[in-house]
Amino acid sequence: MSVEVNNETDWIIDPKVFADLGVWVMDQMRVSAQSDLSILFVDPEPIAELHERWMSLQGPTDVMSFPMDELRPGDDRALTEGCLGDIVICPWVAAQQAAAAGHSTMEEMLLLTIHGILHLLGYDHGTPEQERQMFGLQRQLLLTFFALRQGTSWIALVPDGAPDALAAYEERHGTDRQLGH
């Protein structure tokens, strides 16, 4: 499995953690080892542009998924093979959500990575039943990933003196946002 991680923000993010998570989740979901995934971390402005263009919703969001080969989870007999797609994550929005939820930004970004992968595999949360299924699975995957890596310390932070890109975005465009992905 190939997981490419790129960071176009000022945030200090260890790409290996997200590559390892991507490989592990794809393995758990029975996606072929021949499959590819891309994870991109961006500032509020680029994700807001994607959000408007692809979802017709204003403002930055936390995560967006762009499937390539319409892969679905494999079963015990078959592995799903192909290019899974791209996940775009905004650490600034993740940090805001993490603070509101009472956990770390890193935990939020790992959760968003799993959430994005599940979307790429066809999961959705448009109905209460779909939401229960998808959110239950992403919680199970995240907790298992944490349990397997007990004692590992992960950080995601903005270097001292780096500008607050979300505050700058809101100053230019206002604070009205339509979350959705």
Binding region for Zn(2+): 115, 119, 125
Q: What single DSSP character describes residue 36?
A: E
Please tell me the distance from the alpha carbon of residue 9 to that of residue 47, in angstroms, as a whole number: 12
Number of neighbours of residue 79 by Cβ within 10 angstroms: 17
Which residues fall in the annotated binding site?
115, 119, 125
- Retrieve residue 152's tokens: 């590992």
Concatenated DSSP letters of 74-108: --SS--B-SEEEEEEE-HHHHHHHHHHHTS-HHHH
